[in-house]
Amino acid sequence: MTNWWTRKPIGHKSSRVVLIPLLMCLTLVVAPVTAQTSVEYYNGLFNSWGIRTYILPSQKIDQPATKEDLKNLFDLISGKAEPTTQPKEVTQTALEEDRYLLMLESQKAEAQKLQEMGSIPTYQKIILISKTYPQDFYLNQSSASAKLLADLEPKIINTKTYYTIPEVYLTTPELQTQTANYFKAVGKAEQAVTAKSKDTSTTTANQLLAKLKESSLLESAVYAGVILLIFVACYRLFTVLVHNPARLMRKDLYQQLLARTVWFISKHHAILLFGFILLALFYIPILYALSIKAKLLGTPAYVVNYITTTLNPLTMSNYLTSQNIFRLGFMFYNYVLAVLALILLLPGLCKVTAISNHKFSSVNFKASFIKWSIPGVVLCTIILLVFLPVDSLIGLLALAIILMAGLVWYIHARKLAYAQLFTVKEKRILFGLLTLGLALNIAWPVFQKSRPVKYAYEPLIGIKDDVVMLPYSKKWGQNVLFDEHYYTGGSLIFADGYLIYAPDTTKIVNKPLKEFESDGNLATTAKTAITFVVKDTKKAMEALLKKPALVDYFKTTEFSPVFRLANTDSDALYDKNLSLSLTFNCAKNPAPAIVKLETISLNRWAGGQGDQDQQTGQDENDKQNQTTNQGVLDALETQSTEVLNFPGCEQKLVPETLQVPLDAFLLPEGRPLVRLRGMDTKNLIDAKLYADGQKVPLTFINARILDETTYTLIYQSPATSLSTITTESVTDLKATTENVKNSATSKPKEITAYSTEVKRETVFDLTQPTANNQPSDTYPPYLLGESAPQGFDISSPINILMKQGRLNNPFIIWSDKPNEIIKTKD
């Protein structure tokens, strides 16, 4: 019997051997990846506006610029030059290259060197980018535009045209757009003049060709050509569509198409296989080179990682932007190899599929197998659904469904009288079991809830290593608690965002960060033992906005991309001339980027109005509205605006400072938080805000609140490390145990731990009875300075949190000190 995949396709003519072109080249030169300098960035910018520019250094040419021209240039840079003539009519000389010389003001020294070498070419037009920040510059639309146009007007010195552009016009997004419009217009005007002046010098043929380019005849010919191309490419499909569209619904058309493909591949199998083997051979030197690199780097997994990351289609855009030709070539080489492999496998796959279909359609299962397999699978599934959640049964459910579907289809195809396979007794038993299973599904969860939960205990630190350090990630199953685990160190121990242990402490109160209350006296607060733990950036920012007193604990003297106004509200700046100065770190030569200013304030519609409400007071209705609104709406309102187009560094290793005007109305009322985005924070060194030329003090917020991957201990008051606190004084750190025992007012301390991860107040009483079961109002020996061999059982507060469902899965046990040992061999 011949099958459709082995028959020659109907209507096939003997075809010529089509040699599939094989990719034989691999570019092995890795294009170096470099970031742009600012002058390169501006060069690209002007070129995109239709202004052809060249930048220093240039190649040595035959006609260097004259000394007089260079003197004029340097005088202009230093501000001494005055225009000697006013432009009457710009006469265009027939230059081969009508380009602008583009340079930065700071390239004066470089230009002088090049002058000595004779490497500055003849120029008619020059664009100078000046670092000077224009004074009295308002971003208000009308005055900014007028000032910009005035500044961009060129100066003519000895028939040479000089444009002096303040850099702020290119780095401020809004002003860059206006500058672009200006220079695009300049470019178009020049083309018009140039074209007009070239009219007489072109031949008749060139004129006609230029006319043809814009004629409707060419356009019509292009349309006709494209239609013809598509028709020719899909000729067969169109033939079927027009003459016999019903054939598209028939199986034999697609079978024939597949048969043709399979037949073609089978016929040219030898060539395709040869090509595949030849391409695959290239893998030998590639793998060899990668393995050598792996050895040099000392990373055994380098080869696999390199291949898997290269094959990831999502990374293609990265390779394109960084012009990594080798990676791109390797990626496409692998794809071609994969496609060839699929093509070679296709006939075999079709054959196997057809054989399996034949086998499945001709197999005859025994009646007993069919009879009992279905109820068996159904009952097993129902019983499992009683005790296990769906999430852990997905694979089994999928398998059961497919199996059942297959068996049911078999019954349907063979037209079996399935019900008649069972006796009455068997039916009754099966229905009874089914009913029991369904009843269990409904009743068991209810029964489970009413019973006390029986917990299984497992070790807290389950791994068998001799030494285990914090942080430690613990994954747990359902209804699991942990055995005792004693900690003898002197650090603070946290489980997720909860403080669970601190040395010499009787009580720990964990509270949500937004419930922080302070009398505003930092000195008093320093005497109380408090900690702040942050993981959720949004919640931290919400707490900072609602409780401004928190800023004193979250602030830092170093630069941070998150800051707020220190002494004044935004409202006071609305009538002032604002500018933002940013300093960039050029050590790693960062690429051009757009810096955005993001303002974060409380969402009025969510009911949170922060300190304003605290000052004015709230009545009960407002408070109720606040709680109902907060559940639905986002508590924070965020607005982002582009403020600076960073062009790249002028010089490597030298920090670059750029100043841009700022619209004061970007800052919402009050004291919002401001965040700089769009750039890696390592590339930003400093930010300053100026109002009418005067520096506005800023308070920088600890940048660690932006890290949402780990829990961060933002602040720990000095009192947390004291062994005792007396009501009288916190300075006497040498209080003896005798003093502690005898003093009526001194006692081991309590700590209040605020965290973004704590939803409700949780209190841990750390007093534990000693081995002799002394009453709990006497302090255990370890709190009184005596040594406690066992230490503190950190599992007990963790188990409390587990029972309340407060911990994540997995949860992290961590400490305020790095590399704290939680388990040793002893």
Partner 1 sequence: MPITNILLAFLFALGFLAFFLPISVWTKKLLDLEVAQPIVALLMFGVAVGLLGVKTAGVGFVYLALAAFCLWAFAFGFLADRKYPYTLALVFLGACPFLLIAKLDQIAEFSAVLCYLCLVLGVLKDLFYDKLVD
Residues lying near partner 1 in the complex (CB under 8 A) are found at 352, 356, 359-360, 363-366, 369, 374-375, 378, 381-382, 385-386, 389-391, 394-395, 397-406, 408-409, 411-412, 418-419, 427, 431, 434, 437-438, 441-442, 445-446
Is the Cβ of residue 437 or residue 797 nearer to partner 1 in the bound state?
437
Which segments of 144-290 are extended strands (E)? 155-157, 160-166
Q: Distance between CA 751 and CA 509 in Å, rounded?
A: 6
**Antiparallel, parallel or unpaired: β 505-512 and 762-765:** antiparallel
Determine the length of the chain.
826
Query: 672 Cβ partners below 8 Å, 6+ apart?
Result: 545, 564, 570, 599, 600, 601
The nearer residue to partner 1, 66 or 305, going by C-beta atoms, is 305
Compare residues 56 and 378 and give the one whose CB is closer to partner 1.
378
Smaller CB separation from partner 1, 81 or 379: 379
Least distance CB 430 / partner 1 (angstroms): 8
Q: How far is the CB of 297 from partner 1 (least distance, A)?
A: 19
At its nearest, how many Å lie between partner 1 and the CB of residue 639? Answer: 32
Bridge partner list, 756: none
Give the distance, in angstroms, between the CA of residue 230 and the centroid of all CA atoms in the same chain.
Answer: 41
391 or 575, CB closer to partner 1? 391
Q: How far is the CB of 284 from partner 1 (least distance, A)?
A: 13
- In sequence order, the β-bridge partners of residue 700 are 556, 563
Inter-CA distances, 380 with 432, 438, 441, 569, Å: 14, 12, 13, 68
Which is nearer to partner 1, 30 or 289 (by Cβ)?
Answer: 289
**Residue 525 is encoded by which pair of tokens?**
């607060």
Nearer to partner 1, 211 or 427 (CB): 427
Shortest gap between Cβ of 419 and partner 1 (angstroms)? 5
Nearest distance, CB of residue 3 and partner 1, angstroms: 17
Distance of alpha carbon 456 from alpha carbon 266, whole angstroms: 62
DSSP letter at 776 equals: T
Distance of CA 210 to the CA centre of its chain: 49
Which residues fall within 8 angstroms of residue 339, CB to CB, at 6 or more apart?
none
Closer CB to partner 1, 59 or 368, in the complex: 368
Beta bridge partners of 37: 649
β-bridge partners, 39: none
Give how far Cα 198 sits from Cα of 193, 215, 237, Å: 9, 21, 51
Q: CB of residue 660 vs partner 1: minimum separation in angstroms?
A: 44
Token couple for 539? 């919640």
Which lies closer to partner 1 via its Cβ, residue 230 or residue 402? Answer: 402
CA-CA distance, 635 to 28, in Å (whole number)? Answer: 54
- Closest CB 279 distance from partner 1, rounded Å: 21
Q: How many CB atoms lie within 10 A of CB 148?
A: 20
Nearer to partner 1, 265 or 382 (CB): 382
**DSSP bridge pairs for 157:** 160
**Shortest distance (Å) from residue 399 CB to partner 1:** 5
Pair 509, 749: CB distance under 8 Å? no
- CB of 415 or CB of 825, closer to partner 1: 415
Neighbours of 322 (CB within 10 A): 16
Q: Strand, coil or helix: what is 704?
A: helix
Minimum distance of partner 1 from residue 5's CB (angstroms): 17
Q: Smallest distance from the beta carbon of 450 to partner 1, in angstroms?
A: 13
Q: Among residues 76, 173, 193, 171, which one has the least CA distance to residue 126?
A: 76
User: Nearest distance from residue 453's CB to partner 1, in Å?
Assistant: 16
Determine the 3-state secondary structure of 278 from DSSP.
helix
Nearer to partner 1, 233 or 401 (CB): 401
According to DSSP, the residues that pair with 499 across neighbouring strands are 494
Question: Would you call 308 exposed, middle or buried from its count of C-beta atoms within 10 A (0-12, 13-18, 19+)?
Answer: exposed
